[in-house]
Amino acid sequence: MDQDKKAIAVVGASADRRKFGNMCVRAYKEAGWEVYPVNLNQATIEELAVYPKLSEVPVELDRISVYLPPAKTRQLLGEIASKGAGDVWFNPGSADPQILEEARAAGIKVRNGCSITYIGKSPALYM
């Protein structure tokens, strides 16, 4: 990885260009980030190699962005905490207040909101 580029893992990345998990991959890629899609069922997404587990992403991450339903998000909190990242974005629909509380208790730097808009992009650009 280029030392100047920031790295993000998109957990719940999707090959479906209509889904936010795909829009995030495209937005961060366009913004110059090194993007590591995480999905159990895909080999590539937007021409990027996909990792079946967050723990298999081979670099230190600046950010993790989560696009999973709350039940799956809760199951991955330990793996997210273990991987470490500058911050972890729980995008709309990925967490509830209890999950966010559990994430904070696990030492995760929680961001609750849209990780795409945080970098100055609009999801509408990718629809």
pLDDT for 127 equals 87
| CATH superfamily, domain at 7-126 | NAD(P)-binding Rossmann-like Domain (3.40.50.720)
User: Is the pLDDT confidence value at 2 over 60?
Assistant: no
Please write the tens of the pLDDT for every residue from 21-61.
Answer: 999 999 999 999 999 999 999 999 999 999 999 999 999 99
Q: How confident is the model over 68-83, as a mean pLDDT?
A: 97
What stretches of 1-127 adopt beta strand conformation (E)? 7-11, 34-38, 44-45, 48-49, 63-66, 87-90, 110-112
Domain ranges of the chain: 7-126
3-state secondary structure of 118: helix
pLDDT 10s digits, 3-32 = 578 999 999 999 999 999 999 999 999 999
Residue 31 bridge partners (DSSP): none
Question: From CA 22, how far away is CA 78, in angstroms rounded?
Answer: 24
The burial of 59, by beta-carbon neighbours within 10 Å (0-12 exposed, 13-18 middle, 19 or more buried), is given as exposed
Q: Which residue has the tokens 């990885």?
A: 1
Q: Specify the pLDDT at position 57.
A: 98
Q: What is the mean pLDDT of the chain?
A: 96
The pLDDT score that the predictor gives to residue 55 is 96
